[in-house]
Structure 1
Amino acid sequence: MRSTRTPASPRRGRRRTLLAVGGLVAALALTATACGGSGEDTAGGEPGATASQAGGNADGGVRIPSDIADQLKEHGIDVDDWKDGGWQDWDKDKWLSEAKDFVNPVIEGLWKPERMQSAKEADKTVSTKDASAGQGVSDPEPAPVEATAEKTPYHQNAAPVGKVFFDSPEGPSVCSGTVIKDVNHPGKSNLVWTAGHCVHAGQSGGWYRNIVFVPAYNDLGKSEAELGSANATEIAPYGNWWADWASTSNGWIEGGSQTGGAGAAYDYSVLHVQPEQGAKSLEETVGAALDVDFSAPSAAEAREMGAWGYPAASPYNGLKMFKCIDEPGRFSLSPSLPTMYRIGCTMTGGSSGGGWFRVVDGETKLVSNTSIGPADNTWLAGPQLGRDAQSLYENMSETYGGR
């Protein structure tokens, strides 16, 4: 899930990359507060966006708005049965694609540390045939860039980055995500950016379930053995945040596939989340959020991009945060589809949905997210975020941001 472009001059290209690392890391770190976290305090695409709603919690239980409860009943879903395990029923006749069928009531305590560690990566491995379809538009493959581990504690060095956990028919799964600003609710955002394939199966199915965002997961970067004795604050320093609203593009819903497919160029999503416990907003709790750059700059204009995430497939295990910095190139799956960005990076599945950042006038902004990559894990590709992605974001902010 990455790409590689050999610079005209290896020495010059390497120096530019190192300089970019310093700039991106410094800017990203500056968005975070210096204090520690506490779990106690805690649809534009092609040709339009789709948003969905879900339930909430109250006093440790499940609180379902009346209109959502009616939807559940309409589809033969009992709220109490859902909470008690009915969500595990993946009857294909009921696993529908329409936004109204997204159901995500809080099930407090479901995502225990052990269950989080068992989650498998939700990667999209592009086929050689698909990768070659855009020849003549795509730039040459970039040279692989070895992913480097983010400094710990994560809440001080990359506070907006976290993991997205969800249940699919295959079992517990994991992606990466980023806390983003909410233009209509400054300083109090509850929005998270990730990939469309981390919330919806695309043309082969419907919405995933039990979607949770955990910012700064495994804050100290502990090993699997060390996590056995870690406390809850070390594993989830800001607690678990359940998606009560979700949106992705119609382009992903209608064209997304196991290899990304025609939906890859529209493979992005915005979540509106709420804390499993606590009342403060996500941005207030984490102390950080990033603006999204919807200008869709060309690869040449962007110059350098950095991808952050939690790779989970071998040789990684999903417990630690990594990053790659590279000069982006163009990647095309078809002349009829929008061009994507591609960078060299050895991160594997699990990094899907993780934000791609660039520095604009000294400020780090999210400019894309990890979508697809090849089986040999030498590069990553992500969608350009233009007018359609901005419409999806604005709809989420205006319609659901204040809820």
Structure 2
Amino acid sequence: MAASVAAARSAAGRRVFAAVLAAGLALTAGCASSGGHSGGGLGDLGNLRHWGAADWSHWAQQHLLHNAVAQDLWSPDAMRSAAAPAPTAPPAPATAGPSTPATTATASATASTATATATATAATASPDATGDPSDPPPAAVPAVAEPHPYPAGLAVFGKIFAKSPRGMYVCSGTVVSDPQHPGRSNLVWTAGHCLHGGKGGDWYQNIAFVPDYNAAGAAGDGRQTTLAQVAPLGRWWANSALVAPQWMAEGNDTAGGAVSQYDSGIIRVADPDLPGKSLEEEVGGSVPIWFDAPRDRLTAVTAYGYPAVHPFDGQQLERCDGGHPARLSYDPTRPTMLAIGCTMTAGSSGGGWLATGSDGKPALVSNTSIGPNPAAWLAGPALAEQAQQMFTTMTRLP
């Protein structure tokens, strides 16, 4: 009897988890875009698994980023103003029965905080014996601010700034290794919704990455700072970008759901003030990506980011030691998301999730995509075959 009660409670927890995520927040701080050009010409997305290198190259050439570099745009004041106010709490979500679609839940939010609105499919790629969609929600893990000055190894983390038709916003990103250019990577991994408006939208503009943001701790509490204090390693402007084709076709900058299972993106950057020098050389390292990392081997996942909504101010690098990730899925045909306990808020989107790789060194296994309000946990996409194809395509672009 006790076992059946425990199983029932566990099943209820899993159902609530899926339904809550249907009303979760896309953790981008600032104003999001709803305009732009259509993401047409995407072809048969159901056939992505069969795309070859030529198909990916053709798709990438059809959807190039034309990023405008405005040298004086991202001043310390502009970077600070990109932080979002506190979001409006979403309404209570509906719940779903085992192995049935969840009721669509709509979350309200401020103009500068993206929310998620989606139909959650109550199934995973590997459902448990009860048929429930996912694991119970992870317990909340408080975010911890990294002490200043940041050690050299944390310089791979930074903030991504961009402009949408409705204003400025901020995300987080991680410098990742480029096998085509060992030791000289210019690649930054982030969330797809940090770069592109999704269905009916377009690339955001003036996209720039600031590694090691506020490493010395000069910013915060409204203090005025110099550019050298908040961007000690420069401002690196995107010259190429890729997001998942599904994000362009289905994504919504105020919605999560099945498309969040592909919510990753990558930019290639350059700093006009440092001609001939790579981002990896400037920050002193990069993080390799562990594609198709088996979840059972991810015993200790740590998420990094710059949350910008109360109680955070976007000026500090925070981390959550999330432990072993739970499973989460909206669509059983897509890679199951990872979820960890974490109280980081909007602004942490795109931040890297690190785990110990097969070589015993840190490797990137996911990125922050969505989470609930109030903040208690985060969910990120598993970096499966399509993410690897997207990454390989970027490394081969001219």
TM range (shorter): 0.7 to 0.9
Output one character per residue of 1:356-403: Cα deviation in whole Å (capped at 9) or x when no partner.
000123200001000011122111000011111111111111224xxx
Q: Distance in 2 between matches of 1:190 and 1:108?
A: 19
Identify the residue that residue 308 of structure 1 maps to in structure 2: 304
Question: Does residue 239 of the first structure (1) align with residue 243 of the second (2)?
Answer: no
CA distance in 2, matches of 1:276, 1:319: 24
Residue from 384, 387, 392 that aligns with 1:386:
384
* Contact 1:197-1:267 at 8 Å conserved across structures: yes
- State the one-letter code of the partner of 1:247: L
CA contact (8 A) 1:160 1:178 kept: yes
Is residue 273 of structure 1 aligned with residue 269 of structure 2? Answer: yes
The aligned amino acid for 2:136 is P
Show CA shifts across 1:1-55 (max 9, x none). xxxxxxxxxxxxxxxxxxxxxxxxxxxxxxxxxxxxxxxxxx9x972658768xx
User: 1:157, CA displacement in angstroms?
Assistant: 4.5
- Alpha-carbon deviation of 1:333? 1.7
Change (3 A) 1:136 1:386: same
Aligned to 2:190: 194
Map of 1:373 onto structure 2: 371
Aligned 8 A contact 1:124 1:260 in 2: no
Distance (whole Å) between structure 2 residues aligned to residue 344 and residue 388 of structure 1: 26
Q: Which residue of 2 aligns with 1:105?
A: 68
Q: Is the 8 A contact 1:243 1:271 kept in 2?
A: yes
Q: What TM-score, normalized by structure 1, do the two folds share?
A: 0.72
Q: Deviations over 1:340-360 (max 9, x none)?
A: 000000000100000000012
Q: Does the CA-based 8 Å contact 1:222-1:319 persist in structure 2?
A: no
Q: Deviations over 1:158-195 (max 9, x none)?
A: 11000000001220100000001110101111000000
The residue number in structure 1 matching 2:169 is: 173
**SS of the counterpart of 1:158?**
helix
Call closer, same or farther: CA 1:133–1:378 in 2, change over 3 Å: farther
Q: TM-score by structure 2 length? A: 0.73
**Distance of aligned partners of 1:234 and 1:325 in 2 relative to their CA distance in 1, 3 Å threshold:** same
* Structure 1 residue matching 2:69: 3-state secondary structure: coil
Larger RCO: Structure 1 or Structure 2 (Cα < 8 Å, ≥ 6 residues apart)? 1
Task: Label 1:153 to 1:226 Cα distance change in 2 as closer, same or farther (>3 A).
Answer: farther
Cα offset, 1:120, TM superposition: 3.8
Report if the CA contact (8 A) 1:124-1:371 is conserved.
no
* 1:266-312 residue CA offsets vs partner (Å, 9 max, x unmatched): 111110001031121000111110100012322x2211211000001
Question: CA contact under 8 A between 2:306 and 2:317: conserved in structure 1?
Answer: yes
- What is the Cα deviation at residue 219 of structure 1? 1.1
Hey, what's the Cα distance between the residues in 1 that align with 2:373 and 2:117? 8
Alignment partners' CA distance in 1, 2:321 and 2:313 = 21
Alignment-mate amino acid for residue 372 of structure 1: I
Q: For residues 234 and 355 of structure 1, what CA distance do their matches in structure 2 show?
A: 23
Distance 1:52 1:238 in 2: 29
Q: Which amino acid aligns with 1:115?
A: A
**Using a 3 Å threshold, how does the CA distance of structure 1 residues 150 and 377 change in structure 2: closer, same or farther?**
same
2:318 to 313, 322, 326: 322
The separation in 1 between residues aligned to 2:121 and 2:147, in whole angstroms, is 33
Find the residue that maps to 1:395 and give its secondary structure. Answer: helix
**TM superposition shift of 1:315:** 1.3
Counterpart selection for 1:143 from 139, 142, 157: 139
- Secondary structure at 2:397's aligned position in 1? helix
Number of residue equivalences: 310
Matched residue SS, 2:393: helix
Q: Secondary structure at 1:159's aligned position in 2?
A: helix
User: Distance in 2 between the 1:132 and 1:123 partners?
Assistant: 26
Cα distance in 1 for partners of 2:229, 2:381 equals 33
Q: Distance between the aligned counterparts of 2:257 and 2:118, measured in 1?
A: 12
Q: RMSD of aligned C-alpha atoms?
A: 2.3
Aligned pair 1:335/2:335, yes or no? no
CA change 1:357–1:274 in 2 (3 A) is same
Structure with more of its chain in helix, by fraction:
1
Match of 1:290 among 277, 287, 290: 287
Contact (CA 8 Å) 1:127, 1:374: kept in 2 or not? no
CA contact (8 A) 1:259 1:372 kept: no
Q: Partners in 1 of 2:364 and 2:241 — Cα distance?
A: 19
| Contact residue 161 and residue 309 of structure 1 kept, 8 A | yes
Q: After TM superposition, list the pairs within 5 Å mapping 1:1-400 onto structure 2.
A: 47=48, 99-100=63-64, 102-121=65-84, 124-127=114-117, 130=120, 136-154=132-150, 156-225=152-221, 227-228=223-224, 230-257=225-252, 258-279=254-275, 280-298=277-295, 300-326=296-322, 327-360=324-357, 361-400=359-398
Gaps of 5+ in 2: 1-41, 85-111, 125-130
Secondary structure of the corresponding residue to residue 381 of structure 1:
strand
Give % identity: 44
SS in structure 1 of the partner of residue 370 of structure 2: coil
